[in-house]
A and B are shown apart, each in its own frame.
Chain A
Amino acid sequence: MQKINRQDAKLMTGNEACAEAAIVAGMRFFAGYPITPSSEIAEVLSRRLPQEKGVFIQMEDELASMAAIIAASLTGVKSMTATSGPGFSLMQENIGYASMAEVPCVIVSVQRGGPSTGLPTLPSQADVMQSRWGTHGDHPIIVVTPSTVRETFDWTIKAFNFAERFRVPVVVLLDEIIAHITEKIIFPKEEEIKIIERKRTKETPETYLPYKYTDSDIPLFADFGSGYRYNVTGLSHDETGFPTNDPKKIDNLYRRLNQKIERYKNEIIEFKTEFLEDAEICVVAYGSSARSTYRAIRQTREAGIKVGIFQIFTIWPFPYEELAKVSHHIKKFIVPEMNLGQIAHEVSCATRCDVIKVNRVDGGLITPDEILERIKHVSV
């Protein structure tokens, strides 16, 4: 594991913390294309990766960036790319390839306003649904949504761990606020950092099947080009890795691909609550909107209103059951997000309660006052 050889506390941006965390996680291959507000990740890594004997390459576009990191990961190296909305759209086809061929990789998407070129320098959270369903077909994916610089550091490492463990693409969904904010980060101690590596096969090249069913639903990996001459394809395939038209085998494949996330979701899903024990109003928030929410509920608590927060770190798989559990004593749910209500609907599905939306799509971060007003309005 990479030694953290720096001061315990440092002032850095979310983008910088993300790049450093990736190196700590063992990432040694980055391919990307410049795009605001994610470019600092590429800039930091263009300097850092050659120092660490890793590979940095600026590709001709995002389609190529995604392709390159998948191929690199196949050889056994941890890889990643970083982008924003328009580039994230261009990566979607190959994100599907990574899901299908079960290639671990991490995609950082720093959200800005959209659709299209939108608001390149201003924050948004409008890619929540794209991060889940951007590529076509039923596919597995994990998406994490940190809200501070320190959380960005921690969740970037966890993203690599998820990718390695489940052999899936994992999206670190940041927004412009977190990406560009400079704040104090106290680095975790080396022994506090857990790094997971993909499980490799113990079979010989003669007996190895690249997608052989295992009890865990996660096939065992062999580094591509290391003596195991197997085939990788984006076509539906069987255990051998070759295309198949057998309906039974096709059905098995798609169900297993999704099952391998579904069955472990309790080990993936993470959230944080505050003041929820006696709360009558629950604000469900993620990313930088969660920061506004904390300020708002701390202020309203002082005014005696029973309000709490449910902050989501893993937006996909979505914590439906966990939210349902807390919903019993909650009268109203409020969902602040910098989009027109992408997660509000999921909250409503999970809780079967009325959900009040607080939305902003003007490029500004939702203010504590905007949430506060809604809390007060509801509590009357």
Chain B
Amino acid sequence: MFPYEKYLRLDKFPHIWCTGCGCGIIMKAMLRAIEHSKIPKDSIALVSGIGCSSRTPGYVDFNTLHTTHGRAIAFATGLKLAKPELKIIVVSGDGDATAIGGNHFIHAARRNIDMTVIIYNNYIYGMTGGQASPTTPLGKKASTAPYGSIEPTFDISGLAIAAGATFVARSTCYHAVQIDKFIQKGLLKKGFSLIEVLSPCPIYYARPNREGTSVDMLRWYKENSIPIEVARKMSDTEKERKIITGILHNIERAEFCEEYRKLVKRVSKN
């Protein structure tokens, strides 16, 4: 049995997440990744914004910073630059990271600042009662899209790659073991790493869209996920509405804090 207790603030339980929510699956995967990476608790700062995913920091025993809606990555940027020895993990949701916080998301990727961002993508604003987010699929219902969403969606991983992230991986809550491997790789990466995890919201997403229980959603993830290696050989039509999983992007590029340190060395007195 994995020693989760080592990392949990047990006095803060029970947690506020609904039965069947994917947040716990991702949180546990993150803890396994941290344990396997052998990073001491004192060296980790976990930063979040607002939303269901962003309640994660309250339950885990690290340096934890629960900030304002959308701004987790901006806070994390200040934290990393002021204390580069900290290992920074940001947990965020689809709305938090790509709607209200979209600007910080792309600019942190562009700078390639060393942090690991884990996005819990549940296609909805869960905390506030099921409003449509930038990843609510076309035609799906939300409390602010009662006739079905008419907006195209963001591909979060694609956005990160285009903006300059150096490590990007996608998985789902069905593939729990895969998540911690990706997070572990992200933690080892010197640069901006993004792990997007599809996560079920049985209450506010599945229910209005008649997609069944959390188990049904996990089953859907299982049946519709295609590893990137396989997907590369498929046509666009074949890939439509499928979830492409795996390490989508892994490159080397100058990291921002290191570049800043070089600048300081060049211009500072003595």
Contacts and interface: CB of A to CB of B under 8 A. Distances in A.
Given A50-B268, A60-B107, A64-B104, A72 B68 contact: no
B66 A64 contact: no
A74 B86 CA distance: 13
B269 A51 contact: yes
A3 to B, nearest CB: 11
A229 interface: yes
Contacts of A225: 42, 45, 63, 79, 83, 85-86
- Most A C-beta atoms less than 10 A away, residue of B75, B85, B263, B267: B75
A63 B70 CA distance: 10
A65 B41 CA distance: 28
A64 B81 contact: no
Interface in B35-54: 41-42, 45, 47
A57 B68 contact: no
A234 interface: yes
A229 B62 contact: yes
A242 B12 contact: yes
- Most A C-beta atoms less than 10 A away, residue of B42, B62, B74: B74
Contacts of A61: 103
Contact residue range for chain B? 35 or more
Given A50-B264, A64-B104, A93 B68 contact: yes
A131 interface: no
Contacts of A31: 77-78
Contacts of B41: 229
A44 to B, nearest CB: 14
Nearest to A52: B268
A29 B67 contact: no
Main secondary structure of the interface of B (DSSP, over half): helix
Interface in B49-95: 57-58, 61-68, 70-71, 74-79, 81-83, 85-86
Contacts of A195: none
Contacts of A52: 268-269
A325 to B, nearest CB: 41
Contact of A68 (B45, B78, B260, B268): B78
B63 A229 contact: yes
Given A29-B82, A51-B267, A52-B268, A68 B77 contact: yes
Given A59-B77, A63-B74, A75-B83, A229 B68 contact: no
Given A50-B268, A59-B77, A225-B79, A230 B107 contact: no
A94 B71 contact: yes
A174 B82 CA distance: 27
A67 B268 contact: no
A301 B77 CA distance: 56
B247 to A, nearest CB: 27
A70 B65 CA distance: 11
A350 interface: no
B112 to A, nearest CB: 14
A77 interface: yes
A53 interface: yes
A55 B264 CA distance: 9
A97 interface: yes
A231 interface: yes
A254 interface: no
Contacts of A233: 58, 66
A210 B107 CA distance: 32
A345 to B, nearest CB: 31
A71 B82 contact: yes
Interface string A208-232: 0000000000000000110111111
Contacts of A227: 42
A89 to B, nearest CB: 15
B165 to A, nearest CB: 15
Contact of B71 (A50, A67, A231): A67
A134 interface: no
A73 B269 CA distance: 23
B82 A77 contact: yes
Nearest to B57: A231
- 8 closest A-B pairs (Cβ-Cβ)? A68-B78, A71-B78, A67-B74, A64-B74, A72-B82, A233-B66, A60-B107, A71-B79
27 contacts: A50-B263, A50-B264, A51-B268, A51-B269, A55-B81, A57-B77, A57-B81, A59-B77, A64-B74, A64-B77, A64-B104, A65-B74, A67-B68, A70-B75, A71-B75, A71-B79, A71-B82, A72-B81, A73-B82, A94-B71, A224-B83, A225-B42, A225-B45, A232-B66, A234-B66, A234-B67, A235-B66
Given A67-B78, A71-B78, A234-B66, 10 more contacts: A57-B77, A61-B103, A63-B74, A64-B107, A68-B75, A75-B79, A75-B82, A79-B82, A225-B63, A235-B66
Interface of B: 12, 41-42, 45, 47, 57-58, 61-68, 70-71, 74-79, 81-83, 85-86, 103-104, 107, 260, 263-264, 267-269
